Structure 1
Amino acid sequence: MEHTPVTPPSNQPALVNDNAYYPSKELLSNLAKQFQAPITRRAIRPGYIARTDGFDVNKAVADLEAHPGQEALLSRLLSVSDLTDKLYDRFSQNPNSLYNWYPAVQHALQKSSTELKSPDTKAMRLPIELAQFIRFEYQETSQADKELFNRFIFDQFELEDDKTYFIKTGTFSSKFQFANAKCSEPREMGEYFQVINNFAMEVGAGKTVDLVVREYIEDVEDNPTIYNGMPLRTEFRVFVNCDTDEVLGVVPYWHPIVMKRALKAGLAESIQADYLTYLAHEDKLTDEFNEHLSRVRNEINAILPNLNLSGSYSIDVMKNGDDLYVIDLALMSESALTELL
């Protein structure tokens, strides 16, 4: 399959930069014709999504939104439901999706005098049919269809053999199952994406139709790892107001109170090992956070005038040696750790 950037359908946002694109309908049609598993052939044809959950999702969403206090149930419903046109449009407009915010960050880094960096990044907005495909249970799709999707992902993202990537959906990285987020098997990346999105749906985070492939930043500090291979690097969560270009506060991403509470409560043997690893590394994380706090504040202040977003956000910054990388952004109202400001 050959990647040819095209103008997206009228119900899609315009392409925002050279690293974001939308597969053509012709390419999608050719792909859909090759699916073999009955569940896939029944549910996916160009322009068509079959209902499998047996109820009116749009009505259920409207009913929950009409009753305050149902946010958790609504999030769960949105995450696990089959896609409808309305649900697809809602997910496309999700401000927390990297597909939507990354161009603004990229622009700010390019236009500002800053040491901040960003990993090389490509983002794809899946058409509704393929967005539905990654919502199918991994175990229920045939190996032939998985391999077909693998080839699609490999070709469309122009991946390279023998290269390691960091991957995520538009809003969910599965960093707590880091073996899925760090992909060293690019020809199987489609399966990685399906597993990640299945897990996101289970935890109420399946509210995106975007996929992201990023440069994997190798750890140059030889930090210990937790969560199945994730280097425990010093990270900062910076809360900002983009309307006033103001830094509201900075907290450690791996905050001692939060980490000790979460890891100590873990029942799995691997989580208990992660708890001991964190305790042994806590002083280094704390010392480096304090040492680089002013620098991070100054660098974020430098990009805020060029960050063309409206409202308040959290911006995550990762330290790797002497380098600082902007790695994530989300609405402050939907971000963790605000209680620590």
Structure 2
Amino acid sequence: MKRMTIKVPKIDLEKLNKERYEKNSKNKNNLSYWFSMIKDCGFKVPETHIIPINFELFKWLTSDNYSDEMIDRFNDFIISELKKNNFNTERTLFLKTGTFSDKFTFKNCKLTDINRIGYQFLQIFYSGILVGANNTNELVVREFIKSDPHIKTIYDGMPLNTEFRVFYDFDKDEVMGVFNYWDRKTMIDSLGEYAISEKKVEEFKNFRDTIPVIEKEFEDCKDFVVKEVEEKMKNVDLNGQWSIDLMKIGNDFYLIDMAMAKDSYYYDKIIKQTGKINRTKDFTGLTENIKNLITELDMTENEFLKILDHLTVSDIDKLSYDHGDIFRERDIESLFDYMYSDSSEENVNNNKIYTEEEMRAILEKSGYIIPMDNGGLYFIYRKI
């Protein structure tokens, strides 16, 4: 696919890194933002220690200067921080950043050798960069929650415990919906492709054999889970709509993760259920590129808008394959980099860098992007 070329000013990396660092500190999805408010709510939570990343360390983590010496120093820094806080490291641990665990490569987030903690954190952070989830300035070390050893695993060791994703509105003190985290169709689509590409057919079989048990347990427990969330969250001092992830271990329910609802998978289903779609349906000022796309699709403008409101995974893949890309990143800076990363050095102006609003304006003016509120997606249209 052909990319546009525009005149892009030369970027002051130090300033850009500082802006991203400061922005990351304000990210409400950071575990440091919400964990202190829910850790005593009544649900079990794993013992957790959060290590803030200073600006110099942040720059190194987002660079490509991963020498053995620097990794060793990083490793020693983390261990010393844990020892200072008397955190027990002589056990299996679970690693993540403030917003991302890379759990679909489970060997990265499950730590059995403390001397590899720096290396595995680096793997997680780098994976976060690749998928646009490096919007955090913290490392998180947690107690690893043990599962029944007979439970089958996927993704290099992730136990297939029953998990519940509950959407909760803290302003209204009510549950918006609850979903089986291991949705059969979603998982068969993604895990099937993974199993073929990574030669992990056994893991696909593990899921196929386990999903009936998970689905039964989910149905048996979901009403109880909803009541527990409503009871335990009503006094939590958070605002807005959030997703709450609960994992069932034996007869216990562990609260293992939270995120703002709009940034969470299955939120599009909540929108469909409630009918609350905030995106305007006014096509005033629609760019010629998008109008051309609608013509190619042989649709009316309203039909096109309706599709954007109700996209399924298969719709997205089809639309993406034929007419552009669906971009799942919600960080406008990363989206801008994605669009213009191949701009040539000779087109660079040294006198200025773009602010976030300027980047947004350029993207919207380009006529190649439609922001879509359902699921925080962007549709990028580019002619072949």
The aligned counterpart of 2:71 is 146
1:123 aligned residue (44, 47, 50): 50
The aligned counterpart of 1:231 is 159
Of the two structures, which has the highest relative contact order with CA contacts closer than 8 Å and spacing of 6 or more?
A: 2
2:180 aligned residue (248, 252, 261): 252
The aligned counterpart of 1:279 is 208
Shift of 1:56: 3.8
Equivalent pair of 1:241/1:313 in contact (CA under 8 Å): yes
Shift of 1:143: 1.4
3-state SS of paired residue (1:313): strand
2:231 aligned residue (302, 307, 314): 302
Cα 1:194–1:268 change in 2 (3 A) is same
Question: What is the correspondence of 1:84-123 to structure 2 with a 5 Å cutoff?
Answer: 84-107=17-40, 109=41, 114=42, 116-123=43-50
The aligned counterpart of 2:319 is none
1:265 equivalent to 2:193? Answer: yes
The structure having more radius of gyration, on CA atoms, is 2
Shift of 1:151: 0.9
Question: Residues of 1 paired with 2:200 and 2:11: CA distance?
Answer: 38
Shift of 1:221: 5.8
One-letter amino acid of the structure 1 residue matched with residue 25 of structure 2? S
Shift of 1:274: 2.1
Shift of 1:160: 4.2
One-letter amino acid of the structure 2 residue matched with residue 135 of structure 1? T
1:321 equivalent to 2:246? Answer: no
Question: What is the correspondence of 1:156-167 to structure 2 with a 5 Å cutoff?
Answer: 156-158=81-83, 159-167=87-95
One-letter amino acid of the structure 2 residue matched with residue 206 of structure 1? N
Equivalent pair of 2:17/2:59 in contact (CA under 8 Å): no
The aligned counterpart of 1:169 is 97
Cα 1:83–1:227 change in 2 (3 A) is farther
Equivalent pair of 1:251/1:340 in contact (CA under 8 Å): no
Question: Residues of 2 paired with 1:56 and 1:256: CA distance?
Answer: 46
Equivalent pair of 1:238/1:248 in contact (CA under 8 Å): yes
Question: Residues of 1 paired with 2:19 and 2:89: CA distance?
Answer: 38
3-state SS of paired residue (2:104): helix
Question: What is the correspondence of 1:3-152 to structure 2 with a 5 Å cutoff?
Answer: 55-56=11-12, 84-107=17-40, 109=41, 114=42, 116-137=43-64, 140-152=65-77
Equivalent pair of 1:263/1:271 in contact (CA under 8 Å): no
Shift of 1:276: 1.7
One-letter amino acid of the structure 2 residue matched with residue 239 of structure 1? F
Question: Residues of 2 paired with 1:83 and 1:192: CA distance?
Answer: 26
Equivalent pair of 2:167/2:261 in contact (CA under 8 Å): yes
One-letter amino acid of the structure 2 residue matched with residue 259 of structure 1? M
Question: Residues of 2 paired with 1:98 and 1:121: CA distance?
Answer: 10
Equivalent pair of 1:96/1:171 in contact (CA under 8 Å): yes
Question: What is the correspondence of 1:211-226 to structure 2 with a 5 Å cutoff?
Answer: 211-220=139-148, 222-226=150-154
One-letter amino acid of the structure 1 residue matched with residue 99 of structure 2? T
Shift of 1:142: 2.0
Identity, in percent, stands at: 34
3-state SS of paired residue (2:234): helix
3-state SS of paired residue (1:84): helix
TM-score, with length taken from structure 2: 0.64
Question: Residues of 1 paired with 2:102 and 2:72: CA distance?
Answer: 22
Figure out how many residues of one structure are paired with residues of the other and give that number: 258
Structure 1 vs Structure 2 CA RMSD:
1.9
Equivalent pair of 1:166/1:183 in contact (CA under 8 Å): yes
Cα 1:209–1:296 change in 2 (3 A) is same
Deviations 1:38-77 (A, max 9, x none): xxxxxxxxxxxxxxxx62469xxxxxxxxxxxxxxxxxxx
Question: Residues of 2 paired with 1:280 and 1:223: CA distance?
Answer: 11
Shift of 1:141: 2.1
Question: Residues of 2 paired with 1:221 and 1:316: CA distance?
Answer: 22
Equivalent pair of 1:99/1:124 in contact (CA under 8 Å): no
The aligned counterpart of 2:365 is none
One-letter amino acid of the structure 2 residue matched with residue 117 of structure 1? K
Question: Residues of 2 paired with 1:340 and 1:252: CA distance?
Answer: 12
Shift of 1:161: 5.0
One-letter amino acid of the structure 2 residue matched with residue 118 of structure 1? V
2:107 aligned residue (155, 168, 179): 179
The aligned counterpart of 2:120 is 192
Shift of 1:156: 0.2
One-letter amino acid of the structure 1 residue matched with residue 80 of structure 2? D
One-letter amino acid of the structure 2 residue matched with residue 300 of structure 1? V
Question: Residues of 2 paired with 1:331 and 1:171: CA distance?
Answer: 11
Deviations 1:258-303 (A, max 9, x none): 1011112233244433222111111000011011112211110112
Question: Residues of 2 paired with 1:292 and 1:57: CA distance?
Answer: 50
1:288 equivalent to 2:221? Answer: no
Question: Residues of 2 paired with 1:161 and 1:308: CA distance?
Answer: 31
